[in-house]
Amino acid sequence: MATLADSFLADLDELSDNEADVADEENLDADQMEEDGDLADIEALNYDDLDNVSKLQKSRRYIDIMQKVEDALEKESDITNKGVVLEHDPEYQLIVDCNVLSVDIENEIVITHNFIRDKYRLKFPELESLVHHPIDYARVVKKIGNEMDLTLVDLEGLLPSAIIMVVSVTASTTSGKPLPEDVLQKTVEACDRALDLDSAKKKVLDFVESRMGYIAPNLSAVVGSAVAAKLMGTAGGLSSLAKMPACNVQLLGAKKKNLAGFSTATSQFHVGYIEQTELFQSTPPSLRMRACRLLAAKSTLAARVDSINGDPIGKTGRSLREEIRKKIEKWQEPPPAKQPKPLPVPDSEPKKKRGGRRLRKMKERYAITDMRKLANRMQFGIPEESSLGDGLGEGYGMLGQAGSGKLRVSVGQSKLAAKVAKKFKEKSYGSSGATSGLTSSLAFTPVQGIELSNPQALANQLGSGTQSTYFSDAGTFSKIKRT
């Protein structure tokens, strides 16, 4: 039976064997990478020399493709009538190579731009934050050189007037110093190389554009041949463009905009080559972002149709373009006028209303009284009395205007009150007919005088529904009979 120490020693032996195997595999991989030449000695590169960093222009592939492009542009051959399969056509293969080369040229321009920026940073460090586009930066650097006074340098035509003003003001307060002669010479050579790469890229795009009716007829029908060539060149080919989502197609060719403190009201962000299309330019500014998204979506569909050669005559692209145009016109239409809403048809059948004893009692309980009717009524030509006088406060209407000028008005006895009075009589007096000893026949009323009343007679009259009231006014007794 093995002890614990023996098991530990066995595990250590296995671990050492595994490490040896891993080390052997790493050595084999390193030897294979050295044999293939994939591993470059980065530390040995001399960044002071542009030839060690940028090698595309001296490559055989670049020279051959550019020579073929120049020959094809000189011949101006018509390839639309050829009956050759698209994949086997040598000119189609040249277009595919041009698309790949345009991406390589773009990367090479970025490398050259970084070289120029690193060298010229000692002279004008603020320029890279003011001019972002690599080609514009190379033109400005070549134009300025070692000049410290930018008022002597004419930048008109290279940059917008607003950016020129900002660059001139910033150059007057810069902390940079003039470059040595050798560094300046390398910087100018790098600028020339960047400009040569840009001209080669334009030549490649011109060739691709001239053949876009054959390669991508539907995409060319939607956005135009020039924009289609730029989209294909930036995406790296028609197949790469077809695999790209519409949100990325919208940003192809977008530049970082530097407004230098100016207004952003008229600036279009997140828009690339699509802004150069005719449909985009003819759209009102308030709808251009919607139009840009629509164009990017339809361009992606057209590129997918072209990638499988689904419609060689471009009928799908023309239908997509017509759809885009109709949608943009629809967006510009004014909203429809608000139509008058007719009233609903009245019901011919009578409404169901509750009736009966309970409804009659409710109506009697909440019915408007005669006093309120008089208060709500006014007599023509006679001013009404009010609570505060002179027409101020609550008006009394025709209250008291019929007879004595007082506000006392007789109120008729309702059936409900008569029933309550009858119950009160039966409960209070019973069958004996005796009256309370505290009952008085004199009562003070709100009107002038003293009212004389007989409680027994009042109870009898309430029971019969008739009431007689006696009151005195300046020595005169009157009797009012109420029913």
Contact at 8 Å (CB) between 139 and 191?
Answer: yes
Contact at 8 Å (CB) between 120 and 166?
Answer: no
Residues 4-11: what's their mean pLDDT? 62
Residue type, 349: E
Q: Say whether pLDDT at 146 is over 80.
A: yes
Give the Cα separation of 13 and 7 in Å (integer).
10
Q: Picking from 382-386, 390-394, 446-450, which range would have the lowest pLDDT averaged per residue?
A: 446-450
Q: Could you tell me the pLDDT band of residue 463, with boundaries at 50, 70 and 90?
A: low
Q: Which comes out higher in pLDDT, residue 24 or 131?
A: 131
Name 86's Cβ contacts closer than 8 Å, sequence gap at least 6. 92, 215, 309
Q: Say whether pLDDT at 13 is over 70.
A: no
Q: Which long-range contacts (CB under 8 A, 24 or more apart) does 324-329 make?
A: 324/222, 324/279, 324/291, 324/294, 324/295, 324/298, 325/279, 327/294, 328/279, 328/283, 328/287, 328/291, 328/294
Give the Cα separation of 343 and 394 in Å (integer).
39
Arithmetic mean of pLDDT over the chain:
75
Give the Cα separation of 126 and 251 in Å (integer).
27
**pLDDT for residue 268:** 57
pLDDT, tens digit, for every residue of 263-272? 444 455 677 8
**pLDDT for residue 225:** 82
Output the CA–CA distances (angstroms, integers) from residue 134 to 130, 137, 142, 205, in the order listed.
Answer: 12, 5, 12, 18
Torsion angle of C-alpha atoms 354, 355, 356, 357, degrees rounded to 10: 80
Q: Could you tell me the pLDDT band of residue 39, with boundaries at 50, 70 and 90?
A: very low
Residue type, 239: S
Residue type, 140: V
**pLDDT for residue 404:** 38
Tokens 């001209």 locate to 199
pLDDT, tens digit, for every residue of 284-325? 988 999 999 999 999 999 999 988 888 888 899 999 999 999
Contact at 8 Å (CB) between 26 and 162?
Answer: no
Helix (H, G, I), strand (E, B) or coil at 231: helix
Q: Which comes out higher in pLDDT, residue 175 or 466?
A: 175
Residue type, 201: K
Contact at 8 Å (CB) between 238 and 228?
Answer: no
Return the H-helix or E-strand segment holding 332.
Answer: helix 315-332
Please give the distance of CA 291 from its chain centroid, rounded to a whole number. 14
Longest dimension (CA), the chain: 144
pLDDT, tens digit, for every residue of 317-363? 999 999 999 999 999 988 888 888 888 887 777 777 778 888 888 88
Per the document, the length of the chain is 483
Contact at 8 Å (CB) between 218 and 302?
Answer: yes
Tokens 């005796």 locate to 434
Note the pTM of the prediction, 2 decimals. Answer: 0.49
The 10 Å Cβ neighbour count of residue 240 is 16
**pLDDT for residue 462:** 56
pLDDT, tens digit, for every residue of 122-138? 888 888 888 888 888 88
Give the Cα separation of 302 and 292 in Å (integer).
15
**pLDDT for residue 36:** 44
Q: Could you tell me the pLDDT band of residue 45, with boundaries at 50, 70 and 90?
A: very low
Give the Cα separation of 480 and 254 in Å (integer).
102
Helix (H, G, I), strand (E, B) or coil at 27: helix
Give the Cα separation of 298 and 319 in Å (integer).
10
**pLDDT for residue 321:** 93
Q: Could you tell me the pLDDT band of residue 411, with boundaries at 50, 70 and 90?
A: low
Give the Cα separation of 120 and 111 in Å (integer).
14
Q: Say whether pLDDT at 27 is over 80.
A: no
Return the H-helix or E-strand segment holding 329.
Answer: helix 315-332
